[in-house]
């Protein structure tokens, strides 16, 4: 049923991978699907940290990719996986990456909600509303 699964995670938020990665791994095993871990470097973070210096920006993206690969190695022992780093807004970056890997399922966690987005986190909500793929939101 699924051939490509994208798991977007926030490298600084363990709750974004603690439940989503095991769920995605189980689905990848079940359907023999390709698994891709992804993260997004937000434009606002890049602006603050590297002030759009081309060298600094490449280093920021490279560091994110290295952290993502290391995290994947720690979390996933028995499945092959790929890693991707997107840029832009979180929601838009996730949707762009999903298109690039031709994902037919996005598995993500919903962060702790604020009052305005009580049922589902703001980024997860945007992905659910705008994705052309199926989306599985994993709760804590």
pLDDT in tens, the chain (140 residues): 899 999 999 998 898 899 999 999 999 999 999 999 999 998 877 777 767 677 888 888 899 999 999 999 999 989 999 999 998 888 899 999 999 999 999 999 876 555 444 444 566 777 778 788 899 999 87
Please choose, from the candidates 138, 131, 136, 129, the residue with its C-alpha nearest in 3D space to the C-alpha of residue 109: 138
CB atoms within 10 A of CB 89: 16
Tell me what pLDDT residue 29 has: 96
Total domains in the chain come to 1
- CATH number for position 117: 3.40.50.620
Tell me what pLDDT residue 52 has: 65
| Domain interval for residue 91 | 4-138
Beta strands at 134-138 and 105-109: parallel, antiparallel or unpaired: parallel
CB atoms within 10 A of CB 66: 12
Bridge partners of 108, per DSSP, are 137
For residues 90-123, one letter each, b for 16 or more C-beta atoms within 10 angstroms of the residue's C-beta and e for the rest, the string is bbbbbbbbbeebebbbbbbbbbeeeeebeebbeb
């Amino acid at each position: 049923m699924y051939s490509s699964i994208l798991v977007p995670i926030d490298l600084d938020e363990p709750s974004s991978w603690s439940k989503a990665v095991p769920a995605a791994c189980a689905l990848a095993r079940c359907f023999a699907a390709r698994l891709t871990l992804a993260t997004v470097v937000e434009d606002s973070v890049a602006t603050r940290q590297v002030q759009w210096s081309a060298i600094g920006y490449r280093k920021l993206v490279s560091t994110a990719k290295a952290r993502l690969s290391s995290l994947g190695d720690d979390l996933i022992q028995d499945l092959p996986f790929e890693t991707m780093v997107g840029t832009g807004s979180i929601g838009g970056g996730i949707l762009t990456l999903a298109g690039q890997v031709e994902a037919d399922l996005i598995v993500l966690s919903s962060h702790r909600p604020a009052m305005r987005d009580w049922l589902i986190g703001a980024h997860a909500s945007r992905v659910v509303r705008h994705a052309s793929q199926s989306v599985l939101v994993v709760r804590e």
